Structure 1
Amino acid sequence: MIKLQDVSVIRQGRPTLDNVSFEINKGEQWAIIGPNGAGKSTMLSLFATTTLPSKGDVFIMGHKVGTIEVSKLREHMGYVTAHHQLDWPMTARDIVLTAFTNTLETPMRWVASSEQLAIANAQLEKFGLTQVADTTWRGLSQGELGRCFLARAALTKPSLLLLDEPAAGLDLAAREQVLDLISELRIEDPELTSVMITHHLEELPSTTTHAALMAHGKIVAQGSAEVILTSENLSETFGIPINVNYSHGRWSTRSGK
């Protein structure tokens, strides 16, 4: 599904990604973890085709980026981020409907068909958002907004789901709702491939299969999540003692001091 070959991204004369090679196969659920400035967001933007490499090659769903219209690739992607910047007073329903236009905001003069409205309303119900369907995004809680973006990303049954800190800023209940929904998407479609970036192991859904640890623009460890997400590896990646606990399919951390 995704392959990076000797990829570097240079910004302001400095590599935010430094000669990275990486591969993700269909059906795998990856977590990319590391401290601020490690290169996680740059990596995800390569997967989303919003950033091009300064060096090396990026392949998405078997196509080399730069040899195919990115709009064709994005038709098969879902993208969720807590950092979407919305300017217009869009409602929860409007946000979900933009899955059909593959835009962050409703295009001018675009009107949803009755069939599209029915599909969006069904998606709102599935994600527990029917009661706030006509509420503008400023009136939504962080949890409701997070579920809106997840509902939008899942609407068109993507092959690749990209998750940029989808639980960031959520309270405990809202976080667990979002993580349960992510797990349900994998259960519904075992071939769905997903990549999540986060700082916190507590934000990983139970369906996570693989993990990569990043520091200073490089991948320092990658493989099976249960093998990679250890106290030793996390302590080395973050540069401080960290104890990792794994129980009932979920991870947690605390200071190793």
Structure 2
Amino acid sequence: MTSHADPGDKVIEAREVDVVRERRLLLAGISVTIRAGEHWALIGPNGAGKSTLLSVLGAYRHPTRGQVDILGQRLGRTDVFQLRRSIGRVTPQHPLRSALTAREVVLTGATGTIDLMPRWTPRPDELERADHLLYLLGLPTTTTHVLLLREGRTVGCGRVEKVLTTEMMSNCFDHSVRILRHAGRWAAVAAPDSAAPHFLTR
């Protein structure tokens, strides 16, 4: 579960982050600052580096170069196992070993594990937080910021109104698309055809 922070406080700050694996550059020069109260969308085609970036920002992978501060703690200088307890990252890539309820999956974020820990009992505040997060899943949300990735590099980063544009999305996916917004929802349609819209986020 994420720790409490005042609106505007830095939650994550990544500076010139590179990730290299088997001599292959997965991320190159990624810089982003995320503050409390912001709601970010990470968008990019397959292989853009989204999962790699999320693993770094979730304290599950260290950058090859660059600096990453998460909740005021710098990767490489802190106990990542303890830090993960404050992040609560839940991913569908986790290989669950047993059948879990949605609430139990969320609670794995309290321990930073991929399954419920044996003989671990969540505190009342952790149960309350998990229920609150599940409740939020059913509500429409307003995206404030977007980070666009392509081939491990930043294509666009900042306020959603400035980044989620027809030009920048077409560049990100190397395909002509048109960005629309209707009733608070963003959509991408193939251009110039009037295909059915693919809703990106709310």
TM-score category (smaller protein) = 0.7 to 0.9
- Aligned-pair CA distance for 1:80: 2.9
- Aligned-pair CA distance for 1:99: 4.4
Indicate how the Cα distance of structure 1 residues 255 and 40 shifts in structure 2: closer, same or farther if over 3 A, else same. same
CA distance in 2, matches of 1:54, 1:222: 22
CA root-mean-square deviation = 2.6
Ranges in structure 2 where 5+ consecutive residues have no aligned partner: 1-10, 193-202
The DSSP-based 3-state class of the residue aligned with 1:78 is coil
User: Matched residue pairs, number?
Assistant: 182
Indicate how the Cα distance of structure 1 residues 34 and 94 shifts in structure 2: closer, same or farther if over 3 A, else same. closer
- Aligned-pair CA distance for 1:216: 1.2
CA distance in 1, matches of 2:167, 2:138: 26
Runs ≥4 residues deviating over 3 A:
89-102
**Does 2:170 match 1:240?**
no
- TM-score, reference length from structure 2: 0.78
**Does 2:187 match 1:252?**
yes
- Aligned-pair CA distance for 1:96: 4.6
The DSSP-based 3-state class of the residue aligned with 1:73 is helix
Amino acid at match of 1:74: R
- TM-score, reference length from structure 1: 0.63
Give the alignment partner of residue 112 of structure 1, picking from 114, 121, 139: 121
Partner of 1:229: 164
Indicate how the Cα distance of structure 1 residues 95 and 25 shifts in structure 2: closer, same or farther if over 3 A, else same. closer
CA distance in 1, matches of 2:48, 2:175: 15
CA distance in 2, matches of 1:237, 1:100: 34
Structure of higher RCO (CA pairs closer than 8 Å, 6+ residues apart): 1
Amino acid at match of 1:15: L
Amino acid at match of 2:176: P
Give the alignment partner of residue 83 of structure 2, picking from 69, 73, 78: 73
CA distance in 1, matches of 2:41, 2:101: 30
The answer on whether the counterparts of 1:213 and 1:219 sit within 8 Å (CA) in structure 2 is yes
The DSSP-based 3-state class of the residue aligned with 2:149 is strand
Partner of 2:44: 34
**Does 2:144 match 1:209?**
yes
Identity %: 35
CA distance in 2, matches of 1:123, 1:73: 17
CA distance in 1, matches of 2:107, 2:31: 36
**Does 2:3 match 1:6?**
no
Indicate how the Cα distance of structure 1 residues 92 and 61 shifts in structure 2: closer, same or farther if over 3 A, else same. closer
The answer on whether the counterparts of 2:90 and 2:105 sit within 8 Å (CA) in structure 1 is no
Partner of 1:82: 92
Greater fraction of residues in helix: 1
Indicate how the Cα distance of structure 1 residues 28 and 102 shifts in structure 2: closer, same or farther if over 3 A, else same. same
CA distance in 2, matches of 1:217, 1:119: 35
Give the alignment partner of residue 71 of structure 2, picking from 42, 51, 61: 61
The answer on whether the counterparts of 2:49 and 2:151 sit within 8 Å (CA) in structure 1 is yes
CA distance in 2, matches of 1:179, 1:238: 29
CA distance in 1, matches of 2:89, 2:71: 15
Deviations 1:146-175 (A, max 9, x none): xxxx54xx9xxxxxxxxxxxxxxxxxxxxx
The answer on whether the counterparts of 1:9 and 1:17 sit within 8 Å (CA) in structure 2 is yes
CA distance in 2, matches of 1:22, 1:95: 28
- Aligned-pair CA distance for 1:100: 4.4
Indicate how the Cα distance of structure 1 residues 256 and 208 shifts in structure 2: closer, same or farther if over 3 A, else same. same
